[in-house]
C-alpha cells in the first residue's frame, strides 16, 4: 500500500467521472430497462473504480458505487421513527366491495362522473421507506408498526437497482416509499442452493425477502436477489409535489427510482375491474408475486378531501386476489386406487375456502411425500391452491398438533378389493395387485380407455363408467362394445336419446390409430409419446405382442423398465383376451408401418404447446405434430426444440425464455403443419 500518495487532480476527476458513468448506466439498466453498454463493460468500469479507490483510499466515500456492502455485521437494528406514519390499506375481496368503495369516494367528493384512479399491482413484499438528503441515500427503514420501524440502511444499500444518488436536481429531503420483493426466479434459485446444502428453505418469496432484509450481516443480504418498486413519497423538503399521483410516480422515476411498469390510469369502477382482470390473467407470467391490485384516487386534491380513517386512507383500496393458502385440519386420510393400482393418499379436510373455491380434499401424492412433510391425521395444515393447480398440503403447523394425532399408514390390503398391496422397490409407489379384479382399477382403466386422448368415446365419462361397473354391465373395455340400447336406457338418468348417442360414439371410436389404441390400453408408464414410438416402430400390434424385452428396448426412448412393463402386459392372458375381443368387435387402425421415423419431416424435434390456440385444440395440434414424427412433451427442458405459445401462455413460456428455447406463435405452428416442414432457422 505504501505508495498511497496524494491523488492528482486528474485521478480525482477520473474517479468522479467513473462514479457518474456507473450511476448513469445503472439508471439505463434498472429504470429505463434499456442498457446502453454490455454487462462486461459495466463490470470493467466498476473494476477500474475499485482499483483507483484501493490505490488512493482517501478517495473512498460511502456513496461510491463500490461501497454497497460497506458495513460490518451488527447485533441488532436501530429503531427509526417515521416522520409521517406509514399507513396500511383497506381491502376489497369482491367486485361488490370494490364498487362500494368507488361509490363512497364519489359521494364524499360529490361527483357523479367517473373518478380517475391509478391502478397498480399489489406487490407481495415488505414496505420500505428510503430517505435521500441532497440526493444522497442516508437511511432506509422497514414499516414496523407504522410509527417505528427498523434501520436497515446497510442492507438496503446492497439492492442493485436502488440508486445511492438521486438523478438530477435533488431536493433537500426526499423520503420515497415502496415495496421490497424477491423475484420468483431468484427465490427459486436461492431455495435450490439452500436445499442442496441441506439448509432451511424459505416458504415463499415474501418470507425470503423479509429474511434477507433483516440479515444482520449485509454481506449475506448482498447475495440475495432483492428488488424494489416505489409507489409514494413520504416526507419531503425543498420541492413542490405534483398535483396527481401519476405525476408523483413520474417524478420518482425521474429521480432514478424504480416504479412498476404495470401501473395504469383507469376510469371508474369498471376501469378498475378491467385492470384487475387483466393483471389476474397475466399474473403467472409476472416475474414477481403479487397478492392483488391497488387503486388510488389520482388527484392529490381529492385525496386530501377524502382523508383517512384510523390507519388507512379513504382514497385507496387493495383489491385482493382470493387467498391461495389457508389453514385447515386433516380429518382423515384415505387411499385412492388409480388405473395401474397405484395407491394415492388423499387428505380429507375440514372444508376451507382457498384460491376462490372450497377445498375438502388434497392429494398427498405418495408415502414418501407424507413422510417428507410429516403429516398426521388431526394436524392443522397449510393448504395451497395456486391458479389451476390441484390443491395440495403445503406444510404442517407443528405447533398446533393435537395430543391424539394419528400416524398415516399404507394399508396392507386394497381398501376396494382387498387384494394385497405391494410396494415398488424402486419407486415410492404402493400398488393394489388386484388388476381387473379391483373395481377401482377397472373403473379407472375404462375411464382412461374412453378418454379424449385415448379412444375418445364421447359420453363415456366418470359417471357412466361408475354406473356401468356398479351394475355389472362392463368389466373390461371390450365389454363396452357389447352394450345394447336396452341395457343403456335402463340406467338411471339415461334416456333413449343419450343411450343412442353413446352407442354412436362407441361405433365412431372403432376406427382409431395404433398409437391411440396402445395408449388406451393403459400399460404402465406408456404415455402418449411412448405409445406413438411403439406404434411406429412395430407397425402392427401382433409384432409388438410377440416382442421380448430386448426387442421392445429397440424403440426410441424405451428403457429396460418400460420394456418390461410392455412385455408383462402382453404376456398376461386376460389382457390378450381383451385385445382379441376388441379387434373382433371391430376396433381397427390403418395397418402397415408408417414412414421410418427418421424419414419423417419432424423426427427428432420436441414441441411443447402452452396457452390456448385460436384455430384448434391443443391435443389436435399435438396429434398433428406427432403424425409428422415430432414428439409433443408436457414440460419445457433444455431438450425442447420449440415452445408454441398460444393465448395466456404462462410459466412454460417463461421457462422457455429462461432456457433460450425458441418460441413460436400459432401462425408459425400452422405453417409447420401445412408445409410439413420444420420452422426455418429464424423461427418463422
Ligand atoms: S400504497 C397509504 N401501493 O401493501 C398507502 N401499497 O396493505 C400505503 N403494497 O404497507 C400503501 N403494493 O407494503 C401501496 N402499489 C402499492 C403497494 C402497496 C404493495 C403494500 C405495502 C403496504 C401494504 C398495505
pLDDT digits (tens, 9 = 90+) for 167-181: 999 999 999 999 999
How high is the pLDDT of residue 425?
Answer: 67
State the pLDDT at residue 593: 62
- At residue 2, the pLDDT reads 42
Phi and psi at residue 461, in whole multiples of 5°? -115, -165
Residue nearest to atom 18 of ligand 1 (CA): 122
pLDDT of residue 592: 66
Decide whether any atom of ligand 1 lies within 6 Å of the 293 Cβ. no
Residue with cell 367528493: 109
User: Hey, what's the cell of 75?
Assistant: 447485533
What percentage of the chain has pLDDT greater than the value 70?
96
For ligand 1, atom 9, name the residue with the nearest CA.
122
Distance between CA atoms of residues 540 and 518, nearest Å: 11
Residue 171 has a pLDDT of 96
DSSP state of 255: T
- Is the confidence at residue 416, as pLDDT, over 60? yes
Whether 122 is a known active-site residue: answer yes
3-state secondary structure 93-113: CCHHHHHHHHHHHHHHHCCCC
Q: What does the mean pLDDT of the chain come to?
A: 90
In this structure, the dihedral spanned by the alpha carbons of residues 663, 667, 669 and 675, taken in order and rounded to 10 degrees, is -130
Residues whose CB is less than 8 angstroms from the CB of residue 640 and which lie 6 or more positions away in sequence, other chains included: 606, 607, 608, 633, 656, 659, 661
Which whole number is the average pLDDT over 314-327? 88
Indicate the DSSP class of residue 222. H
Average pLDDT over residues 361-379: 92
**How large is the C-alpha radius of gyration of the chain?**
32
Q: How far apart are CA 375 and CA 253, in angstroms?
A: 48
Tally of residues, the chain:
684
- For ligand 1, pick from 117, 121, 127, 266 the residue to mutate: most ligand atoms within 8 Å of CB: 127
Strand 606-610 and strand 631-633: pairing?
parallel
* Residue 389 pLDDT class (50, 70, 90 cuts): low
pLDDT at 609: 92
Q: How confident is the model at residue 226 (pLDDT cuts 50, 70, 90)?
A: very high
462-470 helix and 439-450 helix, angle to the nearest 10 degrees: 140
- Nearest atom (ligand 1) to Cα of 125: 13
For 647-658, what is the mean pLDDT?
86
pLDDT of residue 682: 47
Q: Report d(CA 402, CA 414) in Å as an integer.
A: 29
State how far the Cα of 621 lies from the Cα of 669, in Å rounded to an integer: 8
Q: pTM of the full predicted structure?
A: 0.57
* 571-586 pLDDT per residue, tens: 999 899 999 999 999 9
Q: What would the DSSP string read from start to end of 454-482?
A: TT--TT-SHHHHHHHHHTTS-SSHHHHTT
Q: Is the CB of 231 under 6 A from ligand 1?
A: yes
Q: What separation in Å is there between the alpha carbon of 421 and the centre of ligand 1? A: 53
Name the residue of 90, 93, 123, 261 whose CB sits within 8 Å of the most ligand 1 atoms, as the mutation to test its pocket: 123
Q: Count of alpha carbons within 13 Å of 306, Cβ hemisphere only?
A: 26
Query: Per DSSP, what are the bridge partners of residue 345?
Result: 335
Amino acid at each position: 500500500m505504501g505508495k498511497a500518495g496524494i491523488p492528482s487532480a486528474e485521478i480525482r476527476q477520473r474517479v468522479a467521472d467513473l462514479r457518474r458513468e456507473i450511476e448513469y448506466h445503472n439508471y439505463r439498466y434498472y429504470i429505463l430497462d434499456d442498457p446502453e453498454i454490455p454487462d462486461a463493460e459495466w463490470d470493467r468500469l466498476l473494476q477500474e473504480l475499485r482499483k483507483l479507490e484501493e490505490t488512493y483510499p482517501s478517495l473512498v466515500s460511502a456513496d461510491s458505487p463500490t461501497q454497497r456492502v460497506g458495513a460490518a455485521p451488527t447485533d441488532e437494528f436501530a429503531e427509526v421513527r417515521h416522520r409521517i406514519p406509514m399507513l396500511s390499506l383497506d381491502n376489497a375481496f369482491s367486485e361488490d366491495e370494490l364498487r362500494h368503495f368507488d361509490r363512497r369516494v364519489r359521494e364524499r367528493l360529490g361527483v357523479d362522473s367517473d373518478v380517475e384512479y391509478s391502478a397498480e399491482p399489489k406487490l407481495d413484499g415488505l414496505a420500505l421507506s428510503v430517505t435521500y438528503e441532497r440526493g444522497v441515500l442516508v437511511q432506509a427503514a422497514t414499516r414496523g408498526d407504522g410509527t417505528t420501524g427498523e434501520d436497515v440502511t446497510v442492507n438496503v444499500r446492497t439492492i442493485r437497482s436502488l440508486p445511492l444518488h438521486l438523478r438530477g436536481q435533488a431536493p433537500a429531503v426526499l423520503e420515497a416509499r415502496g415495496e421490497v420483493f424477491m423475484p420468483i426466479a431468484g427465490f427459486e434459485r436461492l431455495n435450490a442452493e439452500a436445499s442442496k446444502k441441506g439448509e432451511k428453505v424459505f416458504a415463499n418469496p415474501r418470507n425470503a425477502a423479509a429474511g434477507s432484509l433483516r440479515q444482520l450481516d449485509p454481506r449475506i443480504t448482498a447475495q440475495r436477489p432483492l428488488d424494489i418498486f416505489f409507489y409514494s413519497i413520504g416526507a419531503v423538503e425543498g420541492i413542490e409535489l405534483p398535483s396527481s399521483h401519476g405525476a408523483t410516480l413520474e417524478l420518482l422515476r425521474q429521480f432514478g427510482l424504480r416504479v412498476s411498469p404495470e401501473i395504469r390510469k383507469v376510469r371508474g369502477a369498471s376501469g378498475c375491474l378491467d385492470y384487475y382482470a387483466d393483471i389476474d390473467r397475466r399474473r403467472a407470467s409476472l416475474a414477481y408475486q403479487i397478492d392483488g391490485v391497488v387503486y388510488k384516487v389520482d388527484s392529490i386534491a381529492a385525496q386530501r378531501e377524502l382523508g383517512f380513517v384510523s390507519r388507512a386512507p379513504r382514497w385507496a383500496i387493495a383489491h385482493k386476489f382470493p387467498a391461495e393458502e389457508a389453514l385447515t385440519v386433516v380429518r382423515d386420510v384415505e387411499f385412492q386406487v388409480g388405473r395401474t393400482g397405484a395407491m394415492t393418499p388423499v387428505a380429507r379436510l375440514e372444508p376451507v375456502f382457498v384460491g376462490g373455491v372450497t377445498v375438502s380434499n388434497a392429494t398427498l401424492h405418495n408415502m414418501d411425500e407424507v413422510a417428507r412433510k410429516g403429516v398426521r391425521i388431526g394436524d392443522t395444515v397449510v393448504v395451497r391452491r395456486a391458479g389451476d393447480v390441484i390443491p395440495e398440503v403445503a406444510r404442517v403447523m407443528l405447533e398446533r398438533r393435537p395430543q391424539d394425532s394419528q400416524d398415516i399408514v399404507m394399508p396392507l390390503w386394497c381398501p376396494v378389493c382387498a387384494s394385497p398391496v405391494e410396494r415398488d422397490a424402486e419407486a415410492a409407489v404402493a400398488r393394489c395387485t388386484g388388476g381387473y379384479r379391483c373395481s377401482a382399477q377397472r373403473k379407472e382403466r375404462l375411464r382412461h380407455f374412453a378418454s379424449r386422448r385415448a379412444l375418445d368415446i364421447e359420453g363415456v365419462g366418470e359417471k357412466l363408467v361408475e354406473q356401468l361397473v356398479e351394475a355389472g354391465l362392463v368389466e373390461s373395455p371390450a365389454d363396452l362394445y357389447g352394450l345394447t340400447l336396452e341395457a343403456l336406457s335402463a340406467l338411471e338418468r339415461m334416456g333413449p336419446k343419450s343411450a343412442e348417442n353413446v352407442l354412436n360414439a362407441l361405433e365412431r371410436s372403432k376406427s382409431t390409430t395404433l398409437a391411440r389404441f396402445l395408449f388406451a390400453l393403459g400399460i404402465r408408464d406408456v404415455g402418449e409419446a411412448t405409445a406413438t414410438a411403439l406404434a411406429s416402430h412395430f407397425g402392427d400390434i401382433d409384432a409388438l405382442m410377440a416382442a421380448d424385452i430386448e426387442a421392445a428396448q429397440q424403440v426410441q426412448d424405451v428403457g429396460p423398465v418400460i420394456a418390461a412393463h410392455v412385455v408383462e402386459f402382453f404376456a398376461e392372458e386376460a389382457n390378450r383376451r381383451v385385445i382379441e375381443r376388441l379387434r373382433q368387435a371391430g376396433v381397427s387402425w390403418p395397418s402397415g408401418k408408417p414412414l421410418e421415423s427418421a424419414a419423417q419431416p419432424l423426427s427428432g424435434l420436441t414441441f411443447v404447446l402452452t396457452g390456448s390456440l385460436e384455430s384448434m385444440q391443443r391435443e389436435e395440434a399435438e396429434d398433428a405434430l406427432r403424425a409428422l414424427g415430432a414428439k409433443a412433451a408436457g414440460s419445457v427442458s433444455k431438450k425442447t426444440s420449440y415452445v408454441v405459445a398460444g393465448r395466456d401462455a404462462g410459466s412454460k413460456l417463461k421457462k422457455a425464455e429462461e432456457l433460450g428455447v425458441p418460441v413460436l406463435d400459432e401462425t408459425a405452428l400452422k405453417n409447420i403443419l401445412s408445409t410439413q416442414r420444420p420452422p426455418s432457422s429464424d423461427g418463422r
